């Protein structure tokens, strides 16, 4: 089954190479994401998934290749420029500022906004995560693991991203909260926000996303979808 990439992608990456010092991780990586498209990225631990997200968000410089967003080239290793373009990465690990309040953590995502715009955006975000509204004054460190994950995503949504990249958002979450993450991905896509969804729950990723890129040893080795009759065998090629 042939899986077609979007004809006019909002994000297009090609020839990406990157690593850490003398350790090469990514080699000739290419992917495209359409406007409002939910795209999955799966592969075994150590495949380079987080490294690729770090390159796309500008947290890690690339040694080769090009990233274009809405037709314009993005500079390498420039997270502020990438964020201003409309790309947000929610990093793995439920990382919050534990000694700051829930409100302060969320508002940090919109630190460049004017105060009135930030307040309005906060209200919009809290409609997505109403359980955080009653805990705005509490320290973020008092939240459960699931609530901290919701807080991390809420902080990312404060920027009203055009593309949000979720790195292992279901890690350590109870099944009911995993369902919330999946529903959020679907809702964002419906609203026209593009999503790059990285997670080990491969079946959930495939069921949620329009397409799934398969990654192994620092390279994209193909793509698939839940509708692909060869879906299971393709996954076996990646993980085993």
| 3-class secondary structure, 144 | coil
**pLDDT tens digits, 193-205:** 999 999 888 888 9
d(CA 183, CA 208): 8
pLDDT at residue 190 tops 60:
yes
pLDDT at residue 1 tops 60:
no
CATH topology of domain 11-239: Rossmann fold (3.40.50)
Give the mean pLDDT of 25-50: 95
Exposed/middle/buried for residue 133 (C-beta within 10 Å: 0-12, 13-18, 19+): middle
pLDDT averaged over every residue in the chain: 90
Buried b (16+ CB within 10 A) or exposed e, 179-198: ebbbebbeebbeeebbbbbb
The candidate with the shortest Cα–Cα distance to 136, out of 104, 160, 167, is 104
Confidence of residue 228 (pLDDT cuts 50, 70, 90): confident
The candidate with the shortest Cα–Cα distance to 66, out of 104, 12, 139, 19, is 12
Q: Name, of 76-80, 131-135, 148-152, 199-203, the range with top average pLDDT.
A: 76-80
- Helix and strand totals (H; E) in the chain: 8, 10
* Eight-state DSSP code of residue 139: B
d(CA 39, CA 179): 17
Extents of the domains making up the chain: 11-239
Q: How much is the pTM?
A: 0.91
* Eight-state DSSP code of residue 199: -
């Amino acid at each position: 089954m042939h899986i077609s990439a979007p004809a006019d992608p909002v994000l297009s990456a090609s020839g990406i190479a990157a690593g850490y010092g003398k350790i090469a991780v990514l080699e000739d990586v290419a992917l495209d994401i359409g406007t409002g498209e939910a795209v999955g990225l799966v592969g075994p631990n150590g495949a380079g998934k987080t490294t690729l997200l770090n390159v796309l968000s500008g947290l890690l410089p690339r040694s080769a290749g090009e990233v274009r967003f809405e037709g314009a080239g993005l500079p390498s290793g420039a997270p502020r420029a990438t964020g201003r373009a409309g790309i947000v990465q929610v990093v793995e690990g439920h990382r919050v500022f534990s000694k700051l309040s829930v409100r302060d953590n969320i508002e940090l995502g919109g630190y460049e906004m004017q105060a009135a715009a930030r307040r309005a955006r906060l209200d919009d975000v809290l409609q997505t995560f109403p359980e955080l509204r009653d805990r705005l004054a509490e320290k973020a460190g008092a939240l459960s693991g699931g609530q901290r994950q919701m807080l991390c995503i809420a902080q990312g949504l404060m920027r009203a991203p055009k593309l949000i990249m979720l790195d292992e958002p279901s890690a350590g979450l109870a099944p009911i909260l995993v369902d919330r993450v999946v529903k959020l991905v679907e809702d964002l896509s419906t609203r026209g926000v593009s999503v790059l969804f990285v997670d080990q729950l491969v079946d959930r990723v495939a069921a949620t996303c329009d397409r799934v890129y398969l990654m192994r040893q620092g390279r994209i080795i193909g793509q698939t979808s839940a509708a692909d009759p060869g879906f299971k065998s393709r996954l076996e090629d990646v993980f085993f």
